Structures are given as C-alpha cells and as structure tokens.
Structure 1
Amino acid sequence: MIQKYRQSFNANFTDELYHQLTQYLEEGYPPIPFRVAETPVFIPTALKEKLITAGNEIIALIKQHNFKELTQNAIPSQWNVKNETGNPHFLTFDYGLCKDGDGEVIPMLIEMQGFPSLYGFQSHLAHAFKKVYSLDDQLTPYFGDLNETSYFELLRKVIVGSHQPHEVALMDVDAPNQKTAIDFFVTAKKLGIKVLALSAIKKEGEQLFYEENGEKVQLKRIYNRLIFDEIGDDTKIFDLSFDPRSELDIEWVTHPNWFYRISKYTMPFLKSKFVPETHFLNTLTYIPSDLENYVLKPLFSFAGMGVIIDVTATDINEIKDPENWILQRKVTYEPVIQAPDAGVKAEIRMMYLWPDGEEPQLCINLARLSRGKMIGVRYNADFDWVGGTVGLMDK
C-alpha cells in the first residue's frame, strides 16, 4: 500500500525470485507445510498509527482491575489451569483491512488471543523477503526502536526469563510435526531452548523433566504452544506424560488460561470504531432483521472452524449453548493489496510481548493475504498471491 514499494515490487517480481524465497526460508529447516505469499504488505504510516491506536484501546481493557472478573466464564471448567499469572506474556490482535466512509483504509478487529503466534518465524520471513528481493533497507517489520537483535533479546527475556535455555522448553502436543513447526525451530535456534512434544515431558512429584543423552533435565519454564481445544475431550493423552492442570513446580509462558480470557470472548466488551458490533448470543433481546450483515462464531474454536457466515434465524434458534457463541457484524475486507492481476484482501496481526513486571510492547506483525471467502489457508488453496506474509514499514 506504500505505492512506491508496491509498484517497484510488482514490476520486478518473478516466479524464480519467489522460488528462491521459499528455498531460503526452508534452508536448514523442514519443508514449510503452509503457503507463504509472494509478497510482503507495505504498511503506510497512517495505517500503522491506526493499528497502534486500536491495540492501545484493547490493552486498556485488559489492564482494567476487573478484567479477570469480566472474563472468568471464558475459561472452560475442564481446562482451568492452576497458578495463573497476573498478565499474559503474549498478545496478538488480528485486523481485517477495510475502508471507512471516507475511503480511508481502516483496521477492523477480527480475532484476539492472549497466546503466542509465529514470533520466531516472522522475523525470519521479513529477513528473507528483504534479502531475496533486495528490498529497501529502510523497511522493517518491527515497531518502535526494535531491530532484529533487540527484538530477539526481548523475546529471550520473555521466554527464557531468569533460567538457562536448557531449562526451558517450547511444548505442544506433537511439537516437531505441527504445521507451524518452522516457527518452533527458528525460536529454538535463536534462544537455545528445547522443542518438546507433550509426551516427552514426564512428571515426578510436582516437577517436570525431559531426557537428553540418557540424563534427566528438570524443566523450570514452559513456552506453551498447546491449545487444549485441539485435544478436545480426549484427556487420555495425559496418560503419556503429565496433566497441565495438576499442581506443578513450573512457570508458564504464557499461562494457558489467557488463551481463553483474551479471545472472541473479550470482543463484546470492546466499544471502538476499530471493533465490529459484537454480542454474546445469550444476551440478544431480539434477532436483527439484517442477519445478512452478521456472522455467527463459536467462542471455543480456532482457524475459522464452526463459523457460520450466511446466518439465518433458524441457525440462531438451533444453537443449544448460546452462551458459547457470539453474533458479530460482518467486516467487509477491501482488496487493498495490488497483485499483478487484481486486488487481494489482507489481514494484519499485531504481536506484543509482555515481560514480567513490565508493560506490553508492540514488537512485530504477521499478515495474511486472501482471495477466498475467508482468510484461512483452506479457503485459498487454489490461488496465488495468497498465504502468510509480513508487513514491512518505513523505519
């Protein structure tokens, strides 16, 4: 959207350069199973400022003294984990790029999570775009005064804390084989931490251990990438390792409860020009007559699963657990990214780090391009100039 960069990029783009990009990204890592887009998003200053303002409004709500009280029902009783921290270590806010009544590009909040995203990979991706495409050195994916070095220093402070790297592990159900495993491996390479599947961690008393070279190593801190929703009700998986809900001598980064507190559940509490009108379904006093302008979303789902786009009154009346759904005014994405053949829709994720005892800090971003009905990969399988990418801004 910064025209000088967009025009130059499109004029010089070749399929061979894109091939070089994907090769560079995978060098030293397993193949990336998700689609990386051909282009970064060039974020103009005016849009960056709106994104920052929108994020500050959300953070103001999260920092309210009664935020935990407001969101206590967000945590499913079967997934409530002990020893919750005072604040999350990660915040990610997803915005669709739209146009307001004056024709200006405006971000509209789509999703939010108190959960980590691709904090390692996004830096790797930005570096790859700049190197392979020989982009202007003034372009950066970072906010404030951060650069690649200071960004990873901050990430190390948040994830490793006061411990030694070998005492910290990134954990997921089957971490080495997840679709986003490249992010895990980039993070491990930068920080020196372990990448462990849930089953590789064993509990003795209240302590957790993993084995390396025949030796037991005690874990002090877990960089948690485990989403309980992915396990569903199948808790037999904990028979292989440990139950995260038990009493443990471990520090969570970030504590699992924040995944639920900062989520779609939070959106009805936000009133902003950057947030679409959102209601808990069980609080509706009437069904809007213009349901074509709304979308129905389950609170406890991810990657767009279960979302009903073309809502009817019958859909609403058939919901058996309305307290677990939201009705949200639709957001109309504007195809603001100019591909060689047409405009492409975009979503930008603003990614914050919140060190212990400090303030949340906006650090880096993630972007996704789409030509499909929805942003996710499964809705864009047959297109090019779509997929995961990163926003670059003038320093």
Structure 2
Amino acid sequence: MDASIRKTFNKNFTEEKYGDLILSLNADLKKPIEFRVAETPVFLTDDFRDRLIEAGDNIIQAILKPDFKSLTERAIPDQWRVANENDHPHFIALDFGVCKDTDGNIVPKLIELQGFPSLYGFQVHLGENYRETYNIPGNQTIYFDGLNKSSYLDLLKRTILGPYQSHEVVLMDVDAPDQKTAVDFYLTQNYLGVPVLSLNELIQEGDRLYYFAGNEKKCIRRIYNRLIFDEIAGDTDIFSKVVDIRKPLDVEWITHPNWFYRISKFTMPYLKGPYIPETRFLHQVTEIPANLDKFVLKPLFSFAGQGVIIDVNEADIRNIKDPENWILQEKVNYEPVLQAPDGGVKVEIRLLYLWPDRDAQPTLAINLARLSRGKMIGVRYNKNFDWVGGTVAFMHK
C-alpha cells in the first residue's frame, strides 16, 4: 500500500471528517446505508496495482477458454438451473487478499470469484465522497482502463441497458427494498433510470413478463438480476406464489443466473498461477495433507462465507457426506498492510469487470475493497472494530 499517501491521510484524519463522510454518503438517499463504511480508502502502489491487473487478466483468460462452460456444467444445482442461458457473463468479480510472498513482496492472492453483480453503482458514489471529504489528490482514481466517471457510467449503461430503454429493463431482487445492498439498487436507478422491483412484482402473461409503473403495465425485456437463489432456498414452494423465473421466458438476463454458479468457488480448482492458492475438489483429494493447518474447507454452494471451516482437522474432512460439493483450499494469510492509527488492518480488493454484449471480452472497470481486523473478512467477523468495513481503492491514473 502507498505509504506516503497513507501517512498524509492519517495525519489529517479526524473523527469529525469521518462523520462528515457518513452524512454526505447518506444525503438524499431513500434510506441510510446499512453496512459499515470504513474510515479510509485504500491507496495502492503502482507495483501492487499492476500485480492485481496481471492476476485478474490470467483468470479472465481461463474463463475465456472454449471449454469453460463444459468444465463448469456440474456447478449449477439442478433445482436452480435457469433456462435460456447466454454465452458469457456480463459481470465478473474477483476477490483478492493482500498478502506477503516468501520473498517479502506484497502480492494479491485470489480468495473467491463470482459471475454476479456487485456494488457497481455504490462504488462510484463512495469514491466521490471519499475524494470530496478527504481531499484525495486528483491524480488518484478508483477506475481502471483509463475510465473516468462519465465513461464508466457509459460502459455500465451499455452493459445493463444494451439496446433497450430504461423502462424495459428492471433491477430485480427477492425483496429489493429490504436488502442491505439496496443503496446500490437505488443509486443504479439514479444513474440509469431502471426501476427496482421485488420478485413478487413480476407479472407473467404467456412467456412474457410485465410490471406496473403506477397504473401502467410495462413489458420487461431485460432483468438486471440481483437475486441469489440461496436467499430463497428455505422457501420450498416459493415458485407457486411468484413467477417461476427458472422457466423459458421471453426475457434477457443481465447476467444470467447460471453464471453465479459457473464462476464461483467451483472454478478455483481449474485455476493455476502465482496468485492462485492451491485448490482441489475434496472428492479428488486422495491423501489428506499432513499440514491441514495450512488449508481451509469450503462448501461450493454457499455464499458470504457461510459454512467455511477455517481450522480444519481430519475428522472434519471424513465427516463430509458430499465431498464432491466441497473444496480444500490453501489458506491465504492476509498481511495487515494498511496502517490505521492503532495498528495494521487486513485488506481485500475486489476487481469488478463489465462485459457488454458484442464486446469480445470483459473490461476491468472499477474496484471494491474491504478492511478487516477479524479472523475473516465480513461484517459478522468485525463487530465492534473501527477502521473496518466497505471501502474503495485509489491508485495513480
């Protein structure tokens, strides 16, 4: 992390400025942000930025291989397979822990990946407010590939709207207004004009979908999908009460729900390289490693860190009834590289790609970062800490 900018930032930081940041972030929003925003952004060195880009490029090349879909066919649970899958994801998110290699270099290590949207709207808002509140230098940017706010939003619009008008595209989640990430939904609505709907607001007539805007019924041509099936898995008869979105429908998905499973922890065993931790499907582990303290055990079909076993022992492995649905992954040790006033903080960076239709490959566009003092990244592991939570990384243009 960039030590010179960090030193200046910490010297000028006050709790009053942080309070101003939270006030400015929440100003004019429908409801306050429901997750913790960190006191500080991250400042990347040029070297680490370039390593991140290289690590991401290598993974993208693996996803672009012609056999990727055949390799990941088993990743999609039968009960959540959705009809009319397209040929590529529109969003790719790659999570990297900031670590130290054996030579003492600060390097990224892949933690997880997903073919699913992230906070593509909120990160713009967050970066702008960090810059204004803390007077971040103008030569620092949160964007990649030469993008700025205007060109980034154009790319986001091209990805989500494509050839359609904003009223023909809906952002949909199971219960959109009550999601913790609803702030991103409504900021996206502000940027692109798309309506925000809950699953039960979809209306089916034949194979077409509609929604009501006031008293006017409008046809849906595209769904900007924010629904994760794990969130409705406990309601076994949900599709008897709402539109069964798994069926063949005359609608485009941005991105298609099957990509959530194809680009996921399931992909990890197929990736190799200096920034990839050793990962194997558990059913292909013929000999349990003697150094199990160097590994974590992860279920393939869970999200937000649920079910992960950090301190693994042989009994944990032998008690797994469905080893084909688990991975044994080399443990990634985060280096507390961000210096808070009272010590080091661990950092995770998410690279966010956009892939509009007709583009040959995705574009690395923007980033998301998270700070942690707990055993894992995530809200439930960082309660009662400061200098933790959601943030964004700035880097030299």
Render the CA deviation track for 1:45-73: whole Å, top value 9, x for unaligned: 10111111111111111111110110000
Structure 2 counterpart of 1:383: 385
SS at 2:346's partner residue? strand
Unaligned residue ranges in structure 2 (runs of 5+): none
Q: Check if 1:394 corresponds to 2:396.
A: yes
Q: Check if 1:9 corresponds to 2:9.
A: yes
Query: Which amino acid in 2 is paired with 1:82?
Result: A
Identity between Structure 1 and Structure 2 (%): 59
Structure-2 separation of matches of 1:380 and 1:114: 26
Structure-2 separation of matches of 1:243 and 1:100: 48
Query: Which amino acid in 1 is paired with 2:23?
Result: Q
Query: Which amino acid in 2 is paired with 1:270?
Result: L
The normalised TM-score by structure 2 is 0.98
Structure 2 counterpart of 1:223: 224
Structure-1 separation of matches of 2:330 and 2:239: 39
Query: Which amino acid in 2 is paired with 1:14?
Result: T
Structure-1 separation of matches of 2:235 and 2:321: 22
Q: Check if 1:106 corresponds to 2:116.
A: no
SS at 1:222's partner residue? strand
Structure 2 counterpart of 1:264: 265
Render the CA deviation track for 1:178-236: whole Å, top value 9, x for unaligned: 00000001100000001100011111110111111211111100000000111115242
Matches within 5 A, 1:61-210: 61-210=62-211
Structure 2 counterpart of 1:298: 299
SS at 2:70's partner residue? helix
Structure 2 counterpart of 1:366: 368
SS at 2:58's partner residue? helix
Query: Which amino acid in 1 is paired with 2:368?
Result: L
Is the Cα contact below 8 Å between 1:203 and 1:241 reproduced in 2?
no
Render the CA deviation track for 1:320-372: whole Å, top value 9, x for unaligned: 11011000010110000000010000000000001111121000000000000
Query: Which amino acid in 1 is paired with 2:182?
Result: A
The normalised TM-score by structure 1 is 0.99
SS at 1:52's partner residue? helix
Structure-2 separation of matches of 1:217 and 1:286: 58
Structure 2 counterpart of 1:251: 252
Structure-1 separation of matches of 2:369 and 2:147: 19
Give the stretch that moved more between structures: 98-107 or 227-236.
227-236
Structure 1 segments (4+ residues) deviating >6 Å: none
Structure-1 separation of matches of 2:257 and 2:245: 9
RMSD: 0.8
SS at 1:307's partner residue? coil
Render the CA deviation track for 1:131-165: whole Å, top value 9, x for unaligned: 01111111110001100000000000000110100
SS at 2:196's partner residue? strand
Alignment coverage as a number of residue pairs: 395
SS at 1:323's partner residue? helix
Is the Cα contact below 8 Å between 1:85 and 1:255 reproduced in 2?
yes
Structure-2 separation of matches of 1:118 and 1:324: 28
Structure-1 separation of matches of 2:232 and 2:325: 18
Query: Which amino acid in 2 is paired with 1:380?
Result: N
Structure-2 separation of matches of 1:283 and 1:175: 39
